[in-house]
Structure 1
């Protein structure tokens, strides 16, 4: 198959046209030209395999490979916490995919959409989405890049030993490495390195906030606008506060008696290490959190708490989209949550610095509604879901938008509220769930079977509307320039007009944030630094 592809692919003949065979200095990658006028390069290595001595180390440049690689197969995803190694996941996982119009030219490079997948920094949960739908929605006027980065202990283990003998925040450093790769190479694929828009969902959107605030907000000109979906504001811990994760892993793996515990961990077979790659409770909590590993305060890449960096103005001030879904918490909270004690325990497990007095106030802001019950669920499930969703996702997005507008008087900050109701999720009580809009942005046929069926039936009309806004923002830093005819203007979030776009199938319109939600968010914002967001 590979030899026939090599023989059959023919480059575009126009002057400066990008050809499927691209030389990135260390390797040559043979892309595949599709019948829809798009060429794709799958499984392009952007960093050396992070194995052996490079486990727990910062990413390094790929080793030169003189052979031509047929880029028709996705690279492995990165090993996730709580999962076994498989045929499609590996420690050798630092690959990206590039999608570009087949008629793209190096002389007139196109805007680049660089997408960071989510997964709570513990898994790669949105791998290898198909970028062709976005390119078609843009009338073949953008290039799309997505990629894998290390997660769990491979990407975020932190301790004194790691600082001395390795590197912390390697998952974020993988992202920076991939962005640097784009700066160096994307023009060869028809992309413009001076027009890169970061997109991301959940932990991918958290990554956007972390990259904006990295190095105290230093602008290395790696990207030029951002679009964050369900930006996640988890607690950020210091090296010392993260030491327990390293110590527990050393104990579980039997490396305790080694004089060099880091060398011992590096010497373990990945298959065995995965059997010990689990979450344990944070100090002060009772149960393991949803996601234990995550970005760490290192005084370098992560130089401050995320919300503190925003409040101090230590972030890159670029055109931006922030937004969330109506029911951010329902897919996370245990569905059998049946008491205020279980609700508060769940919140404490995720944010161990939260105090009992703060929990008491949260309970007042989020009273349990006895009539708001759903099939096969505990009586406090939706109460806990509402509190957790706004604490970690909705309110940080609103508060960050306020900081942009009020403190820096930006007129190019856009906020949205995704409220497209899927009948199946609604009947189950999940409502409009975390990052579900990703299926409309990419197109429901391009998200590896994860889209609700309604996005191809009763909610199909929302897809072209959403894609037009997103591709317009990617192309011009303004979602309105190429918005779908008949769709409303997406007004910027300003100090005087705190408006967001309310996405509803066949009824999308601007809305104000209601006073009750603003009151809740004001309180949650007031405790953000207390709980290390």
Structure 2
């Protein structure tokens, strides 16, 4: 249970302030005055969006891809949005963000009617123009997040894509999180309503297939991308339905998350994991004695159910439908989607405060207990092997390359624990997946690219992730470089690249590499001079290592023995 909680929390990708959007033609979006809105006709009717003259972009907000999940549709898998509308529907207002927690909901307008997509495209794009499409799936530990988080402002990526003559369309999707999206119990399973949030994502991808052509996108050139829980979501889409992805996407970008790492509970394990949570929730809202307690939850006032869900973190389970088996078993059987891959992780993932090792590990016994509690519980021989691979030697600990400094104020063996958790939950899965995809037969193999992000935040602080030393290249620290948001916006939402030109140069490289991959399935066509070629993994098992003033390539043998071992015990880890 310990690792379930730790993994659930660590997957988060910060959610915070919402970008205000208005309700009239005079509304301003990110400070840009609205011009007569662009129009697009989809299957349900005609939409009017917002023109952003400063970006020369069109934006369409709050487009429903599912029926509102309220009333009788609360705590059910999503249903397609079947209703048509007459006339022109405003797509100038974001929907509420799905109810979320952990403090990362601050600044976001929350509400149940949240199953929508936001779309940004270059102005002048016409129907069926066939532009490649990037779909962003936010993180948040499956407990927080929203497309309205301004740290995920996609206008700058679309703007950069036009600048390098590789225009793309960017779609951000909302999906249910927390108990609203991942409630699990024998009652939920019996009703066929588990993993609701993943089914939300799947339905959004189907909506994109049916409608993106009207915006000028190519449904055959969709890349799904996410960080942390978003990255794990992308990984789960690779293994979903035994790899039958129905051509919903041709490529996947996984940042600090993949299909492997966090433990996933089976239905048989619910009694000791999520059933007590369900029972607590139903008791708190007066549904525990009802014949159909799940139906009763659909009648509970929103505020009361929001409060009842708030203490608990819930993540996907093996539901025998979306996730039919452990992801590691799907890979071993070859039951995964065959698509192009760009995957990576940050060197010092384990320094994030929500990983768990801070202030908890001072002795060998403490570390032994941490390791023994992983997955289904590890036997003594396995624990001993891990203890040997991760000795009490701070020079081998995380943050890496920091010598004998222990950062003992965070626990005498903090660095040891941070290395263990970061490797087990994120690094090992990244290596396993890139090696798997690059080993496929050449006639069917798609391009594979791997990276290691190795740059500390400009001021040594990652807000809401790690604000007390050590920080270094911690979880989430690559996000500001990917989204390349202008300082006039990003300084106000904790996604600031920093004041130094060389940091912005690195952001230009990373953001344009992502765009190039989406457009060409090759990240090298970014137009940035003076950087090394990013090797395709099947030709050279190498990472591109991103650093300010020093991006290099490296053979992917970093922490070789440690990362290879985790792949030997995936089943024991419930992953």
Find the counterpart in structure 2 of residue 72 from structure 1. 92
- Structure 1 position 455, deviation (Å): 6.7
TM-score w.r.t. length of structure 1? 0.89
The equivalent residue for 1:277 is 309
Query: Structure 1 residues 165 and 200, CA, compared in 2 at 3 Å: closer, same or farther?
Result: same
Measure, in 1, the Cα distance between the counterparts of 2:118 and 2:219: 16
Q: Secondary structure at the match of 2:89?
A: strand
Q: Which runs of 5+ in 1 are unaligned?
A: 12-19, 281-291
Query: Partner residue of 2:124?
Result: 103
Aligned to 2:327: 306
Indicate whether 1:154 and 2:180 are aligned.
yes
Match of 2:69 among 44, 50, 66: 50
CA offsets per residue over residues 393-423 of structure 1, 9 Å max, x none? 0110001111112344536111000001224
**Contact 1:343 1:381 (8 Å CA) reproduced:** no
What is the 5 A alignment of 1:192-231? Answer: 192-231=218-257
- 1:443 corresponds to 2:484: yes
Q: What do residues 169-224 of structure 1 show as CA deviations (whole Å, max 9, x unaligned)?
A: 11111111111111111111111111101111111111111111111111301111
Alignment correspondent of 1:15: none
Do the aligned residues in 2 keep the contact of 1:81 with 1:274 (CA within 8 Å)? no
> Counterparts of 1:127-526 in structure 2 under 5 Å?
127-128=148-149, 129-139=152-162, 141-232=167-258, 233-243=261-271, 244=275, 245-278=277-310, 292-331=313-352, 332-334=354-356, 335-340=358-363, 341-346=365-370, 351-369=375-393, 371-374=404-407, 376-409=409-442, 410=445, 412-425=447-460, 428-445=469-486, 449-454=493-498, 457-494=501-538, 497-514=540-557, 517-526=559-568
Q: How far apart, CA to CA, are the structure 2 residues paired with 1:78 and 1:2?
A: 19
Distance 1:359 1:65, change over 3 A: farther
User: Relative to 1, partners in 2 of residues 1:339 and 1:443: Cα closer, same or farther, differing over 3 Å?
Assistant: same
Note closer, same or farther for the CA distance 1:72–1:347 as it changes in structure 2 (3 Å cut).
farther
| d(CA) in 2 for partners of 1:212, 1:455 | 38
- In 2: Cα distance, 1:167 partner to 1:325 partner: 35
How far off is 1:376 after superposition? 4.4
- Partners of 1:483 and 1:307 in 2: how far apart? 37
- Cα deviation per residue 1:99-149 (whole Å; 9 max; x = unaligned)? 000111224221000111111112126644221111121126100001110
Q: Is the 8 A contact 1:375 1:428 kept in 2?
A: no
- Aligned residue for 1:89, secondary structure, equals coil
Counterpart contact for 2:350–2:422, Cα < 8 Å: yes
Q: How large is the Cα RMSD of the aligned pairs?
A: 2.6
2:455, 2:472 within 8 Å by CA — same for their partners in 1?
no
Task: Quickly say closer, same or farther: Cα 1:305–1:459, change in 2 above 3 A.
Answer: same
Counterpart CA distance in 1 for 2:87 and 2:300 is: 31
Q: Distance in 1 between matches of 2:503 and 2:109?
A: 32
Report if the CA contact (8 A) 1:368-1:383 is conserved. yes
The question of whether the paired residues in 1 share the 8 Å contact of 2:392 and 2:413 is answered with yes
CA contact (8 A) 1:79 1:85 kept: no
Compared with structure 1, are the counterparts of its residues 343 and 148 closer, same or farther at alpha carbon in structure 2 (3 Å cutoff)?
farther
Greater displacement, 332-341 / 49-58: 332-341
SS of equivalent residue, structure 2 residue 339: coil
Name the CA distance, whole Å, in 2 between partners of 1:3 and 1:151: 30
Match of 2:14 in 1: none
3-state DSSP of counterpart to 2:424: helix
Alignment size in residue pairs: 512
CA drift at 1:8: 7.5
Q: Secondary structure at the match of 1:510?
A: strand
Residues 26 and 66, structure 1, Cα contact 8 Å, conserved in 2: no
Q: How far did residue 462 of structure 1 move?
A: 0.2
- Alpha-carbon distance in 1 for matches of 2:547, 2:142: 30
SS in 2 for 1:146: strand
Query: Contact 1:85/1:271 (CA < 8 Å) preserved in 2?
Result: no
Partners of 2:85 and 2:108 in 1: how far apart? 23
Please, which runs of 5 or more residues in structure 2 have no aligned partner? Answer: 1-21, 28-32, 395-403, 462-467
Cα displacement string for residues 308-347 of structure 1 (whole angstroms, at most 9, x for unaligned residues): 2112111111111110000112112343224244445555
User: Would the aligned equivalents of 1:391 and 1:524 in 2 still touch at CA under 8 Å?
Assistant: yes
